[in-house]
Amino acid sequence: MNENLFASFIAPTILGLPATVLIILFPPLLIPTSKYLINNRLITTQQWLIKLTSKQMMTMHNTKGRTWSLMLVSLIIFIATTNLLGLLPHSFTPTTQLSMNLAMAIPLWAGALIMGFRSKIKNALAHFLPQGTPTPLIPMLVIIETISLLIQPMALAVRLTANITAGHLLMHLIGSATLAMSTINLPSTLIIFTILILLTILEIAVALIQAYVFTLLVSLYLHDNT
């Protein structure tokens, strides 16, 4: 109970060296691969899920946008596996760090934006000034649209960080309450423990949904610029 509430969000170290890079590189090792002509059920299910997700995200894109399919599929797999591994006890979740989420969001947003300015500069500039805008409002609308454009990667990163962090804090608080009540009132402990199990199931869903939302928004930014 005296443990720091935010201790689980501190980047771990090994012999005084930061271990964040090793943790980030660990999830891809859990993705199974097959060297055989006939795959087992796990590989088949994995490939079906990847094809389903890729088809849903890439349907609205043209040929140029579909060149990002491998990157977007890799992104959603990485975020999902990182979020799920972070639910394990005494583990560290890199996606709770705003700096890491910004490091993912800014390059992808900037790449989509640069592609839009290179291929469709007129359409890209048209977003700053909606058609039919009264002349006195033009300067204000240009400023507002510019701010809304620049804030997109920050919104991506903050959304992912806030949702994952809030879930971890809630699980930590309810887990601490369960441990404290175990020596006081057994029926109350069972009720709180049931809530903790339900919350864990919810957090598994949130981990997958947030990975999908992050990737889908990047895909929408790409669609607007291709």
Q: Is the pLDDT of residue 20 over 60?
A: yes
Ramachandran region, residue 130 (left: φ > 0; alpha: ψ -120 to 50; beta: rest): beta
Name the average pLDDT for the chain: 81
Q: Is the pLDDT of residue 2 over 60?
A: no
Residue 2 lies in a domain: no
Residue 176, domain extent: 7-225
Residue 73 lies in a domain: yes
Residue 47 lies in a domain: yes
Residue 66 lies in a domain: yes
Question: What's the chain's length in residues?
Answer: 226
Residue 197 lies in a domain: yes
The pLDDT of 168-184, averaged and rounded, is 82
Residue 1 lies in a domain: no
The pLDDT of 198-208, averaged and rounded, is 89
Residue 102 lies in a domain: yes
Q: Is the dihedral of CA 105, 108, 114, 117 positive or negative?
A: negative
pLDDT of residue 190: 86
Q: Is the pLDDT of residue 223 over 60?
A: yes
Written in H, E and C, the secondary structure of 89-118 is CCCCCHHHCHHHHHHHHHHHHHHHHHHHHH
Residue 89 lies in a domain: yes
DSSP bridge pairs for 13: 18
CA distance 114 to 197: 45
The pLDDT of 222-226, averaged and rounded, is 79
Output the pTM of the full model. 0.78
pLDDT of residue 93: 81
Q: Is the pLDDT of residue 14 over 60?
A: yes
CA distance 63 to 83: 31
Count how many domains the chain has. 1
Residue with the larger pLDDT of the pair 212 and 134: 212
